[in-house]
Amino acid sequence: MLETLTKSEGMQEMNRLGSKGTPFFFLIDFEKKQPIVIPLSDLDPEILCYTINGSSNHENFMPNDESIDFYPREVPFDSYQERFNKVMEQIHFGNSYLLNLTFPTEIKTNITLKEIYTRAIAPYELWIKDQLVVFSPEPVVHIVDGKISTHPMKGTIDTTIPNAKSRLK
């Protein structure tokens, strides 16, 4: 299992590795409570695999050709309709022009998370054993002239942050 750190420990470890010029992998959960920071030389592809724009920490996998069955537990239509109407109301008021309406969705499938990872075709992919799989067409983190910045998809931000709207620009 991967060791998670506190937010402070994660920042300290990234600074320590970065100051030594040690390449590292990091993952920060959306609540920023359990970051993972690991030197690339310590990554075990039996526990964590990544592909970042063509670079990866594993050999190419041969996915099996078994057909895939997905069985989502769909959100009841009434719940969806209620939230959709709230979204449309806010758009009408001018409070937003673009957003993603999403719901946590339990999915049962006949294949493993690792198999999903091996079949994904995306420039950015991540698999953590028995925990998660992620694939995305776009990067979230950019490094330019040694400065790390993030650009979340579609300008998302926590609206409780002071001056959140102006920080998106």
Residue 4: what pLDDT?
A: 92
pLDDT for position 42: 95
Whether the Cβ atoms of residue 38 and residue 13 lie closer than 8 Å to each other: no
**pLDDT score of 164:** 61
Question: Which two tokens mark 132?
Answer: 């998660």
Residue 104 maps to a domain: yes
Domain that holds residue 84: 70-109
Tell me, yes or no, whether 6 lies in a domain: yes
Tens of pLDDT, residue by residue, the chain (169 residues): 789 999 999 999 999 999 999 999 999 888 889 999 999 999 999 999 999 888 899 988 777 788 999 999 999 999 999 999 999 999 999 988 777 888 888 999 999 999 999 998 899 999 999 999 998 887 777 788 988 787 665 545 556 667 765 654 4
Residue 27 pLDDT: 92
Q: How many CB atoms lie within 10 A of CB 3?
A: 9
Q: Looking at the domain assignment, is residue 100 inside a domain?
A: yes
pLDDT (0 to 100) of residue 111:
93
With H, G, I as helix, E, B as strand and everything else as coil, classify residue 49: strand
Is 128 domain-assigned? no
Query: For 3-102, where are the alpha helices, taking DSSP H only?
Result: 7-19, 77-93
Is 10 part of any domain?
A: yes
Give the 3-state secondary structure of residue 15. helix
pLDDT computed for residue 65 by the predictor: 81
Q: Cα(78)–Cα(130) distance, rounded to whole angstroms?
A: 33
Is residue 114 in a domain? no
Number of separate domains in the chain:
2
Q: Please report the pLDDT score of residue 127 as a whole number.
A: 97
- Of 11, 56, 6, whose CA–CA distance to 31 is shortest? 6
